[in-house]
Amino acid sequence: MRAETLKGHLDGLLLAALEDGPRHGYAVKEALRDSTGGRIDLPTGTVYPALHRLERAGLISGSWSVVGGRRRRAYELTEAGRTALSGERAGWQEFASAVTAAMGARPWPATS
Amino acid sequence: MAGHELITAQLELLAARLPADAVDELADGLWQAYETRLGLDGDPERAARAAIAEFGDADTVTAAFLRESPWRRAALTLLATGPVMALVWGAALLTLDVRTWPIPLAVKLGYGLALLAVAATLLLVARARLAYRPARPAVVAAAFGLLVLDLSMLAAVTHLTEAPPWPVAPAVLAGLGRILLTVRTLPAILRRGA
């Protein structure tokens, strides 16, 4: 899926990936890829700054641990993050219903 | 598990650009990507290249950090006020007889140059892709510079004009608005961290 298609939905996707419990950045990216059957496979390195932004906004909180000699930062949803996720989900469902209704189930016209 | 020089080189590049905590976090992710690929492929060179491709190279990652940074956001916000401020202050200054103000020409020129310097700094931060470390001090300096410039202009207008014509009112209001906006952006841009 193209990156521009995800614009405006990345926050909701990242929050949803943390809904089941704390995850570190790489695991968040893996969870996103697995839950979408590989259709959303972001460059892993770009997930971290988005997580930092969500943390600054108070929607997730991070904590450090040491695993296998490496420092690892795991994130979990805050109460504000759960509320924001509910809002993102409701907004997406409304948007998806509207677009589906507008486009209908008819096949696309042939272009040639 | 043994490392790989390609991964190490990427992390050295990132370490030169980003805060230490962010680099530690990225290192953990990049080594995980490498170990996963190595487990699947078995060839260290291919695994390292695949991990970097999956992760994004150092330039891509740095650009993503800049894109999401509060400093770039602040730079864009302050830049967005430019056209409106130029319009209202342009109209106001046209109606005021600025030439009669008892302010030396050098100070007037200095004001204009300082305003251009602030705008150029904000524009550079907004367009930067790799200069993560300089972005924060640049935006902080530009924000404080803008505060001083806006306050100076308001002080000059209120002290040097006795009966200001009506176009001055929207300019003064816009100036006060931008001062409030700049002050509100300060906590986010003064905070350290990725």
- Judged by CB atoms closer than 8 Å, whether chains meet at A49 and B194 is answered as yes
**Selected residue of B13, B52, B55 to mutate for chain A interface (largest A Cβ count, 10 A):** B55
Nearest residue in A to B188, CA atom: A56
> What is the end-to-end Cα distance of chain B in Å, rounded?
29
pLDDT recorded at residue B151: 97
Question: Each residue of B103-162: pLDDT tens digit?
Answer: 899 999 999 999 999 999 999 999 999 999 999 999 999 999 999 999 999 999 988 887
Q: Which residues in chain B touch residue A58, judged by CB atoms under 8 angstroms apart? A: none
Count the Cβ atoms, other than its own, within 10 Å of residue B20.
Answer: 10
Give, as one character, the DSSP assignment of residue B102: S
Residue listed under structure tokens 């894109």: B67
Which one of A26, A70, A72 has the shortest CB-CB distance to B33? A26
Q: How does pLDDT run across A32-81, given as a tens digit for each residue?
A: 999 988 888 888 888 999 999 999 999 999 999 999 899 999 999 999 99
Q: pLDDT class for B3, splitting at 50, 70, 90? A: confident
How many Å apart are CA B9 and CA B80, to the nearest integer? 38
Residue B172 burial by CB count (10 A; 0-12/13-18/19+): exposed, middle or buried? middle
CA distance B74 to B90: 24
Give ipTM to 2 decimals.
0.83
**What's the mean pLDDT in B158-171?**
85
CB < 8 Å to B67, chain A? 49
Q: Count Cα atoms within 13 angstroms, Cβ side, for A68.
A: 9
pLDDT at B26 over 60: yes
Residues belonging to chain B with any Cβ–Cβ distance to chain A shorter than 8 Å: 21-22, 24-33, 54-56, 60-61, 64-65, 67-70, 188, 191, 193-194
Measured CA to CA, the distance from residue B129 to residue B149 in angstroms comes to 28
Contact B29 A73 (CB under 8 A): no
User: Is residue A5 predicted with pLDDT exceeding 70?
Assistant: no
- Residues of chain A in contact with residue B74, where contact means CB-CB under 8 angstroms, are none
A61 sits in the region (left: phi over 0; alpha: psi -120 to 50; else beta) called beta
> Distance (Å, rounded) from C-alpha A16 to C-alpha A86?
9
Q: What is the mean pLDDT of residues B51-79?
A: 94
pTM: 0.84
> What is the SS3 assignment for B127-147?
HCCCCHHHHHHHHHHHHHHHH
HSE at residue A13, side-chain half, CA atoms within 13 A, is 22
Provide, as residue numbers in chain B, all residues whose Cβ is less than 8 Å from the Cβ of A71.
Answer: 24-25, 27-28
Taking contacts as CB-CB distances below 8 angstroms, the residues of chain A near B33 are 26, 44
Q: How far apart are CA B87 and CA B108, in angstroms?
A: 19
Give the whole-angstrom CA distance, residue A88 versus residue A14: 11
Q: State what percent of residues in chain B have pLDDT above 70.
A: 97
CA distance B69 to chain A (A): 7
Show residues of chain B in contact with A48, CB under 8 Å: 22, 25-26, 29, 61, 64-65, 194
Distance from CA of B33 to the nearest CA of A (A): 8
